[in-house]
């Protein structure tokens, strides 16, 4: 294509874009002065008709890429005005044909033989003429009927030139109307569209999709719940610009009369096409990216199966992206905000701000049911209203003025891998509208999305070589532990797990294994975050002891002295040590909240108020009954009233930064860490055994095994939800890694001396920012001034006329999905953050040379366990010391302290043996798995086995005999 033609083509492209843009802008302003709604609607209808005809004539004249764009637009009956659909439908297969001489010349040049030598018959009139090629019917010398697809001469240079022009137009639109930034889409199209010009690639794509869908098997042996029933023509021969395919006699989708005569159910037809695409996307990870009506036929033979055509534009998805797309659909179907944000992170989609509710709404719209074309105006109106509502929310949240809000794009990075996926969903929705049927996409696509995740999750250790995350083995006991974990995993007792242990200040175990969730097949890593329930109490207790150690609080202080609202309903004499020892009498406070209104536990201020208004059931210090929920709000209220700071601020200062565990211990997660969260599920076998256990005298009446078994089924759903994960519930919703928890207890085992950082930890401890920052909280501004380039109308013209303009000059694709690439790990959470070097590891030379102590009290262990001079603050025979559960041996001696949580996660230390261990699990098992782990490790290290793990450690078969004490606190 000569430069003269290039310039003319560019001028025509830009002139039309400008003409249509100004036409609608003028009508917008004119409409403000038109009072009659009828007249206003008439003006818009005429404008749509006028501009749709302009666009059609332009596309027919220009051919190439513009025809493909017109084909795409013609399918969007769900969102475009009727005039565009009606006129642009002509582009699907009825373009002016190319001369027969040109066609025959291309065939001879590509295949090395003349048409007469290749075919016994070649029909001169084409079956269809499309944007890139036209199709003729023919008969091979052996009598087989075929179709011959022949590429237009010179179309390659036209397509490449059109991509440049389209890129320029998109950049201009993004400048003029920032909320309509389609640059990621055009970038992906620029990358994928040229592949359509090589019919050898199309031939290979056709064979691959046919094989994946089972179309090449006799009687379609692709059986099972996700079986699809479609046809794809067999490839006979191909070259770069010619492809010969098996002829299949069919009816076009838009030929409603013929479909009706055949008795075809249009709804079932579109559903089967949708199923075929769901299979390609979720099961195969390889799909046709161009499902417009011209690329389908309906077989004339019963049962009138859909015939899929044209596999020039296909997309291959990495396994991680395929899994993320499956998780996105399932999260949207179930309203799971955490899984949705995690899926976004996995596929590389980054947001500029925390918008979980809006993200869920947009995704739900993405997979929404299709609507018939007749409902398009109402659909457009609804979208406009919803968009205005969302922008209002963003404007208020970010405190933007009206102009800034209009220019703000909440998406920071849109991954190329999902551009074609988005296009396919839109085309399928448009196809449904064209066929005038309503399709429920969730119902059709969900089984395919589930199958891809189930296929990975159900493998287990035997079939999944990466089931144990690849980290160094620190000791012989860790090697034996990993073998035990594999056995438990194969038995179905483990979904995901972390185990970390310290001995004499050194890491001897740091193992992560399994999967993050039953719908999340990504591997558990050492920095994954597990919900640990009551393990959180031991962390909060450590904060209270730190305040006592720093003389900011006294154990014998009346809570009412620092928390005046607490001095009601006979609570004036309740002291700090009563709370820590579970003897305050408030063991049943807020007990009904989980039954009456579970989400109320996420309201910190309301829960503090209800605690302040509660009444004790026993005299302070008289009876030790486990404060399973109230403990957290009691401690949290004391901490905040005593310091004037939030619980989370104190947690960062006192534990997170000194221990170098940034990003791996939270009480209420911040936005941005969703990609590392493990999701809870329930071991129903253990649950059934729990309900048969006897009443326990150490537990309050509202927290007996029978009550726990009733509530437990709802716990995974509730504690997997985003509001609960982000809430401050100091008794129950801590999120941490086992290595962070074990490091905490190793520090406590050495009376507060922080152990040195392990050199082999991967990723390094302290490498995360504790509070992630979002990329940009300010909308982009139009660039002004001579010093900055501005993509104005003039610069657009110059760009398009430049010989140096190249569509390939674009930003690189975003980095592929990565486990720990969350919205970002950039910036610092506070001035207390430790400096990081370029490897993300703490700058620790000075840190290693000096000793860091959290506590000054040499008798801090007695304070934790309520022994020695602290005996007066704790009941002598109680299981709890002051905030921690006492770890005892068979002879009754107290060796250490810690805290377990319902479901099996635990953390404790044996101070006498300088041993600390943490176990985090996401399959709630009430201690059978944890018990076996503790039993193995303690026996290998010759450390006394804690009494409460003794029965649990001998295996699940002895549960009923030995577990009068299931691991629930």
Euclidean distance between CA atoms 298 and 269, whole angstroms: 8
Residue 348 backbone class (left: φ over 0; alpha: ψ -120 to 50; beta: rest): left
Euclidean distance between CA atoms 626 and 741, whole angstroms: 22
Residues 6+ apart with CB under 8 A from 479: 473
Please state, as a whole number, how many other Cβ atoms lie within 10 Å of the Cβ of residue 805.
17
Euclidean distance between CA atoms 231 and 250, whole angstroms: 11
Euclidean distance between CA atoms 414 and 420, whole angstroms: 12
Euclidean distance between CA atoms 891 and 888, whole angstroms: 8
Euclidean distance between CA atoms 405 and 234, whole angstroms: 52
Please state, as a whole number, how many other Cβ atoms lie within 10 Å of the Cβ of residue 879.
16
Given the residues 93, 187, 284, 290, the one annotated as active site: 290
Please state, as a whole number, how many other Cβ atoms lie within 10 Å of the Cβ of residue 667.
23
Residue 781 backbone class (left: φ over 0; alpha: ψ -120 to 50; beta: rest): beta
Cβ–Cβ < 8 Å for 354, 394: no
At what angle are helices 419-434 and 266-278 packed, to 10 degrees?
170
Q: Is 290 marked active-site? A: yes
Please state, as a whole number, how many other Cβ atoms lie within 10 Å of the Cβ of residue 219.
7
SS3 772: coil
Terminal Cα-to-Cα distance of the chain (whole angstroms):
77
SS3 764: coil
**Run of H or E residues at 734:** strand 734-736
For residue 303, say if its preceding peptide bond is cis, omega within 30 degrees of 0: yes
Euclidean distance between CA atoms 895 and 892, whole angstroms: 9
Residue 369 has what DSSP assignment?
P
Q: What is the DSSP string of 25-85?
A: HHHHHHHTT---HHHHHHHHHHHHHHHHHHHHHHHHHH-THHHHHHHHHHT-TTTS-HHHH
Smallest Cα–Cα separation from 127: which of 259, 302, 297? 297
Smallest Cα–Cα separation from 445: which of 267, 277, 225? 277
SS3 753: strand
Residues 6+ apart with CB under 8 A from 608: 633, 636, 637
Q: From residue 315, give the alpha-carbon distance in Å to each of 288, 352, 435, 442, 726.
A: 7, 27, 25, 22, 37
Alpha-carbon torsion, ordered 483, 486, 488, 490, to 10 deg = -140
Tokens 């899929």 appear where? 308
SS3 138: strand
Q: What is the DSSP string of 539-554?
A: HHHHHHHHHHHTTS--
Alpha-carbon torsion, ordered 880, 883, 889, 891, to 10 deg = -50
Smallest Cα–Cα separation from 626: which of 703, 709, 728? 703
Euclidean distance between CA atoms 242 and 907, whole angstroms: 67
Q: What is the DSSP string of 300-358?
A: SSTT--EEE---SSEEE--HHHHHHHHHHHHHHHHT-HHHHHHHHHHHT-EESS--HHH
| Residue 508: Cβ-neighbour burial (10 angstroms; 0-12, 13-18, 19+) | buried
The catalytic residue positions are: 290
């Amino acid at each position: 294509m000569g430069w003269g033609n290039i310039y003319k083509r560019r001028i025509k492209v830009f002139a039309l874009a400008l003409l249509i843009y100004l036409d609608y802008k003028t009508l917008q302003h004119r409409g403000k002065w038109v009072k009659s709604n009828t007249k206003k609607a008439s003006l818009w209808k005429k404008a749509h008709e006028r501009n749709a005809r302009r666009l059609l004539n332009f596309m027919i004249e220009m051919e190439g890429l513009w025809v493909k764009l017109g084909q795409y637009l013609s399918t969007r009956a769900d969102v475009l005005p009727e005039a565009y659909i009606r006129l642009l439908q002509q582009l699907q297969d009825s373009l002016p044909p190319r001369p027969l001489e040109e066609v025959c010349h291309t065939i001879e040049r590509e295949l090395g033989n003349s048409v007469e030598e290749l075919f016994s018959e070649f029909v001169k009139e084409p079956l269809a003429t499309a944007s890139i090629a036209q199709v003729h019917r023919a008969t091979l010398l052996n009598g087989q009927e075929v179709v011959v697809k022949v590429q237009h001469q010179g179309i390659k240079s036209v397509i490449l030139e059109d991509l440049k022009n389209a890129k320029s137009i998109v950049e201009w639109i993004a400048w003029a109307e920032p909320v309509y930034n389609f640059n990621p889409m055009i970038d992906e199209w620029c990358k994928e569209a040229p592949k359509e010009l090589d019919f050898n690639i199309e031939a290979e794509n056709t064979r691959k999709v046919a094989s994946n869908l089972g179309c090449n098997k006799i009687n379609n042996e692709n059986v099972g719940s996700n079986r699809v029933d479609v046809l794809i023509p067999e490839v006979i021969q191909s070259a770069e610009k010619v492809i010969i395919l098996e002829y299949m006699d069919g009816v076009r989708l838009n030929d409603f009369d013929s479909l009706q005569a055949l008795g075809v159910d249009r709804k079932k037809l579109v559903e089967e096409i949708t199923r075929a695409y769901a299979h390609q996307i979720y099961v195969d990870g390889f799909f046709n990216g161009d499902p417009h009506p011209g690329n389908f036929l309906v077989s004339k033979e019963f049962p009138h199966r859909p015939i899929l055509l044209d596999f020039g534009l296909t997309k291959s998805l990495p396994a991680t992206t395929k899994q993320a797309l499956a998780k996105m659909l399932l999260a949207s179907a179930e309203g799971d905000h955490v899984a949705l944000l995690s899926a976004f992170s996995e596929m590389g989609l980054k947001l500029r701000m925390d918008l979980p509710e809006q993200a869920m709404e947009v995704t739900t719209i993405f997979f929404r049911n299709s609507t018939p074309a007749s409902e398009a105006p109402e659909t457009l109106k609804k979208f406009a209203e919803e968009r205005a509502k969302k922008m209002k929310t963003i404007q208020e949240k970010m405190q933007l003025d009206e102009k800034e809000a209009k220019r703000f794009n909440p998406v920071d990075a849109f991954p190329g891998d999902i551009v074609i996926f988005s296009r396919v969903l839109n085309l399928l929705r448009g196809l449904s509208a064209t066929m005038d049927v309503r399709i429920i996409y969730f119902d059709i696509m969900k089984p395919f999305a589930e199958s891809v995740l189930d296929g990975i999750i159900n493998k287990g250790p035997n079939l999944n070589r990466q089931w144990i995350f690849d980290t160094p083995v620190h000791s012989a006991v860790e090697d034996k532990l990993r073998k035990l974990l594999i056995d438990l995993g194969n038995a179905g007792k483990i979904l995901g797990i972390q185990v970390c242990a310290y001995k004499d200040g050194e890491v001897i175990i740091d193992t992560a294994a399994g999967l993050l969730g039953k719908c999340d097949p990504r591997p558990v890593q050492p920095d994954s975050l597990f919900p640990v329930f009551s393990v959180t109490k031991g962390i909060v207790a450590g904060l209270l002891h730190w305040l006592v150690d720093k003389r900011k609080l006294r154990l014998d202080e009346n809570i009412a002295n620092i928390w005046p609202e607490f001095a009601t309903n006979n609570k004036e004499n309740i002291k700090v040590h009563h709370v820590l020892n579970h003897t305050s009498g408030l063991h049943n406070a807020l007990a009904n909240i989980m039954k009456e209104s579970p989400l109320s536990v996420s309201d910190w201020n309301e829960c503090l108020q209800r605690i302040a208004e509660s009444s004790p059931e026993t005299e302070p210090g008289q009876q030790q009954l486990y404060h399973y929920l109230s403990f957290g709000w009691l401690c949290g209220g004391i901490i905040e009233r005593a310091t004037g700071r939030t619980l989370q601020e104190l947690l960062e200062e006192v534990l997170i930064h000194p221990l170098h565990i940034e990003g791996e211990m939270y009480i209420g997660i911040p936005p941005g860490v969703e990609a590392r969260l493990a999701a809870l599920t329930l071991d129903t076998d253990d649950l059934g055994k729990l309900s048969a256990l006897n009443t326990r005298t150490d537990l309050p009446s509202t927290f007996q095994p029978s009550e726990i078994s009733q509530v437990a089924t709802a716990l995974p759903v509730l504690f997997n939800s985003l509001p609960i994960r982000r809430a401050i519930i100091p008794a129950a919703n801590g999120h941490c890694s086992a290595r962070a928890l074990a490091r905490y207890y190793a520090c406590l085992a050495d009376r507060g001396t922080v152990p040195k950082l392990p050199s082999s930890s991967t990723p390094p401890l302290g490498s995360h920012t504790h509070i992630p920052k979002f990329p940009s909280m300010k909308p982009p501004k139009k660039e002004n001034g001579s010093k900055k380039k501005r993509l104005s109308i003039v610069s657009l013209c110059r760009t398009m006329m430049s010989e140096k303009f190249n569509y390939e000059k674009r930003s690189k694709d975003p980095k592929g999905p990565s486990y720990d690439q969350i919205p970002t790990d950039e910036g610092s959470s506070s001035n207390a953050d430790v400096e990081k070097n370029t490897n993300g590891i703490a700058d620790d030379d000075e840190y290693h040379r000096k000793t860091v102590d959290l506590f000054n009290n040499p008798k801090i262990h007695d304070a934790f366990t309520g022994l020695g001079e602290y005996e007066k603050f704790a009941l002598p025979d109680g299981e709890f010391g002051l905030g921690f559960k006492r770890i005892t041996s068979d002879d009754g001696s107290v060796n250490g302290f810690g805290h377990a949580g319902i479901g099996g996660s635990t953390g404790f230390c044996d101070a006498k043996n300088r041993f600390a261990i943490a176990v985090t699990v996401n399959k709630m098992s009430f201690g059978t798995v944890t018990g076996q782990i503790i039993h193995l490790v303690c026996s290998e290290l010759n450390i006394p086995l804690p009494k409460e793990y003794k029965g649990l450690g001998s295996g699940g078969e002895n549960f009923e005999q030995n577990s009068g004490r299931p691991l629930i606190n």
